[in-house]
């Protein structure tokens, strides 16, 4: 991880002449990209081509081709924005991606061999790369354009008449962060040719640049504890974001959120690791950062999240600087992942012993205030309840059956609640699952997994436990319906 810096201006273009070769799907501008893999382009260039197709329609069609075939998204707005605003002395950028024909490159000479240029504003980001914050396209008004497919052709005056849409397609590749590629068939070749649609090399380039968390090995993260280590052989930030200058190690986790909640992630050092926590979306757009600070070198991250998949990154500084003196860029750690929400947590992933299908829905949580709010984290002396709720499959309502409650501790021990209300060790190889309660099922069944309990009552000061709840029918006692996502309890 690196700190923010200054803004850059970069220029890229398409030419009618051959330029020097580059490697396949060249990632341009040192891995610079749009945060989140999305930006808005304003396509309303006035005028109509000789073939009767408007420049605005051709521009929008080019943007849609990138949308349909790659992981990047252009939001297309049929309005005009001046591509040269912000490039004159004393002006600031408007952060709007405009395009138009010009006889000059915003005041600078446009050679006859240059068909168009893309002008960037970039801002360095926290991961050692750069975020593109504006990209404008200037088409060379000194040349002749039309809109057509197939080989390049001349106009009625015998001069070269260039296909505007393939030029726009190329320049939009620069807008989203690609450089030139002269080694394989590609729209992003530095010289215009007979290709008029995106090629596989163009598509692969974008999907690599915006590949997100899949550029590194990643692991599913659940509520509770997760032990890890930053060490030689790990993925590096430079690999993760496909560019930039940060070669520090990074561990990548995915966290699926099913409803609105307050998310808390604490990182505790087992050694001398100088840690940083980052929360991002699937496109690696950074949403929150927790840094080590002098005197408090155990970062803690907090964020309000909505349903979706999130990426949690454990990183360190590529240069230690003067904070947390004596710490290192490698070492072991433990994450504590907790949440708070006003309602029970919806528990994902339906399971059954015999592969049966059920439309039941499961939810649960830990409450310290009688059900007003729910969390999964308590202190050893805090009293709490663990509550489960099952919305019984309509086909099973009114039938006699049984409820099962299980607990899996962080050291791998499995306990099951018996009919007297005690959690006892369960050995599935030699015994049936103990039944906690028997009922004739209503539409909703509420379960008291633990009631008015404190970990200190049984001399526990620190533990992570996953609870599972399920039900079965007396008519088929060997089948049990339950969930995959656990009700986590974190005592710290």
Q: Read off the pLDDT of residues 114-129 as tens digits, 9 standing for 90 and up.
A: 999 998 888 888 777 8
Q: Is residue 475 part of a domain?
A: yes
Same domain, 95 and 185: yes
Q: Are strands 384-391 and 400-409 parallel, antiparallel or unpaired?
A: unpaired
Q: Is residue 2 part of a domain?
A: no
Mean pLDDT, the chain, as a whole number? 87
Which pLDDT does position 20 carry in this prediction?
Answer: 29
pLDDT for 213 beyond 90: no
Q: Is residue 3 part of a domain?
A: no
Same domain, 261 and 326: yes
Q: How many domains does the chain divide into? A: 3
Give the CA distances from residue 240 to residues 93, 218, 284, 306, in Å, rounded to whole numbers and listed in that order.
29, 11, 9, 24
Q: Read off the pLDDT of residues 344-400 as tens digits, 9 standing for 90 and up.
A: 999 989 999 888 989 999 999 999 999 999 999 999 999 999 999 999 999 999 999
Same domain, 311 and 365: no
Same domain, 151 and 287: no
Q: Is residue 53 part of a domain?
A: yes
Q: Is residue 256 part of a domain?
A: yes
Same domain, 354 and 471: yes
How many residues are listed for the chain in this entry? 492
Q: Are 449 and 405 in contact (CB under 8 A)?
A: yes
Same domain, 84 and 22: yes
Same domain, 17 and 104: yes
Write down which residue in 175, 191, 210 finishes a domain: 210
Same domain, 163 and 46: yes
User: pTM of the full predicted structure?
Assistant: 0.79
Same domain, 48 and 188: yes
> How many CB atoms are located within 10 Å of the residue 249 CB?
21
Q: Read off the pLDDT of residues 18-63 as tens digits, 9 standing for 90 and up.
A: 322 223 445 654 678 898 899 999 999 999 999 999 999 999 999 9
Q: Read off the pLDDT of residues 8-17 as tens digits, 9 standing for 90 and up.
A: 454 556 655 4
Write down which residue in 341, 368, 388 finishes a domain: 341
Same domain, 81 and 176: yes
Same domain, 127 and 204: yes
| 77-86, 167-176, 430-439, 458-467: the lowest-pLDDT one | 430-439
Same domain, 223 and 139: no
Write down which residue in 341, 368, 387 finishes a domain: 341
For the domain that residue 191 is a member of, what is the CATH number? 3.40.390.10
Give the range of the structural domain holding residue 467, as residue numbers without chain letter: 345-491
Which pLDDT does position 188 carry in this prediction?
Answer: 92
Which pLDDT does position 433 carry in this prediction?
Answer: 78
């Amino acid at each position: 991880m690196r700190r923010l810096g200054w803004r850059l201006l970069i220029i890229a273009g398409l030419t009618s002449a051959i330029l020097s070769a580059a490697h396949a799907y060249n990632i341009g501008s040192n891995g610079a990209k749009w945060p989140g893999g999305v930006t808005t382009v304003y396509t309303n260039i006035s005028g109509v081509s000789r073939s009767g197709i408007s420049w605005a329609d051709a521009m929008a069609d080019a943007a849609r081709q990138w949308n349909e075939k790659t992981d990047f998204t252009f939001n297309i707005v049929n309005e005009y924005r001046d591509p040269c605003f912000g490039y004159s002395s004393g002006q600031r950028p408007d952060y709007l991606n405009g395009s138009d024909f010009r006889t000059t490159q915003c005041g600078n000479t446009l050679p006859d061999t240059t068909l168009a240029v893309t002008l960037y504003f970039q801002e360095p980001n926290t991961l050692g790369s750069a975020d593109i914050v504006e990209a404008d396209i200037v088409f060379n008004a000194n040349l002749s354009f039309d809109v057509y497919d197939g080989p390049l052709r001349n106009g009625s005056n015998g001069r070269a008449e260039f296909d505007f849409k393939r030029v726009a397609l190329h320049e939009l590749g620069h807008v989203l962060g690609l450089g030139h590629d002269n080694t394989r068939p590609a729209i992003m070749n530095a010289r215009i040719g007979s290709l008029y649609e995106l090629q596989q090399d163009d598509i692969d380039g974008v999907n690599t640049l915006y590949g997100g968390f899949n550029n590194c090995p990643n692991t599913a993260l659940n509520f509770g504890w997760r032990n890890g280590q930053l060490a030689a052989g790990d993925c590096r930030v430079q690999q993760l974001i496909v560019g930039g200058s940060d070669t520090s190690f990074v561990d990548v986790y995915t966290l699926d959120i099913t409803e609105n909640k307050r998310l808390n992630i604490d990182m505790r050092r087992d050694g001398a690791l100088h840690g940083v926590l980052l929360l991002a979306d699937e496109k690696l757009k950074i949403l929150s950062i927790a840094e080590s600070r002098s005197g408090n070198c155990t970062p803690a991250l907090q964020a309000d999240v909505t349903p979706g998949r999130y990426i949690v990154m454990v990183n360190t500084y590529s240069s230690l600087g003067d904070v947390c003196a004596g710490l290192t860029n490698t070492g072991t750690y433990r994450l504590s992942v907790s949440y708070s929400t006003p309602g029970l947590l919806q528990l994902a992933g339906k399971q059954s012993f015999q592969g049966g299908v059920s439309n039941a829905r499961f939810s649960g949580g830990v409450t310290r205030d009688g059900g007003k709010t729910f969390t999964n984290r308590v202190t050893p002396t805090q009293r709490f309840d663990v509550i489960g709720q099952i919305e019984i499959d309509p086909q099973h309502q009114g039938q006699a059956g049984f409820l099962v409650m299980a607990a899996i501790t962080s050291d791998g021990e499995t306990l099951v609640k018996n009919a007297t209300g005690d959690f006892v060790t369960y050995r599935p190889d030699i015994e049936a699952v103990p039944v906690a309660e028997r009922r004739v099922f209503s539409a909703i069944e509420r379960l008291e997994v633990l009631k008015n309990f404190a970990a200190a009552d049984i001399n526990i000061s620190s533990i992570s436990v996953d609870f599972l709840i399920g039900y079965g029918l007396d008519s088929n006692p060997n089948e049990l319906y339950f969930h995959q996502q656990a009700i986590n309890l974190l005592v710290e």
